Amino acid sequence: MDLDLIDVQFDLKNIKPRELEEAFEDPFLVRFIPDNDRSDGLVRYYALGRTVADRYLFFAFWTDGKSSRVVAAREMAESERKFYDRKYAEFR
């Protein structure tokens, strides 16, 4: 799946495209139920993922099955990180 980062609305200096790709490829990625009550008709997903350098990221994206477009990305909050770590421990 291709990652579309053209004209993003967040700072790509703080979170590098490579880090977003790594978070998408995280085998323990936690993806939440889609937000489908949007007026524009797009389905937005929310996810928690970790990079190879152990950076924990929260991101929102939409996908059409062929490509994914990240619309927001940031460091995980402490509560999100704890949730991710609990889910990670369940898989190990």
pLDDT digits (tens, 9 = 90+) for 25-78: 999 999 987 766 666 666 788 999 999 999 999 998 888 777 888 888 999 999
pLDDT of residue 7: 74
Indicate the pTM of the whole model.
Answer: 0.83
pLDDT of residue 65: 74
pLDDT of residue 56: 97
pLDDT digits (tens, 9 = 90+) for 10-21: 777 888 888 999
pLDDT band at 22 (very low <50, low <70, confident <90, very high): very high
Sheet containing 30-31: give its strands across: 2-4, 67-75, 56-63, 44-50, 30-31
Sign of CA dihedral 68, 27, 49, 36: positive
Domain ranges of the chain: 2-91
Q: How far is residue 76's CA from residue 69's CA, in Å, rounded to a whole number?
A: 19
Cα angle value 12/13/15 (rounded, 5°)? 60
pLDDT of residue 41: 62
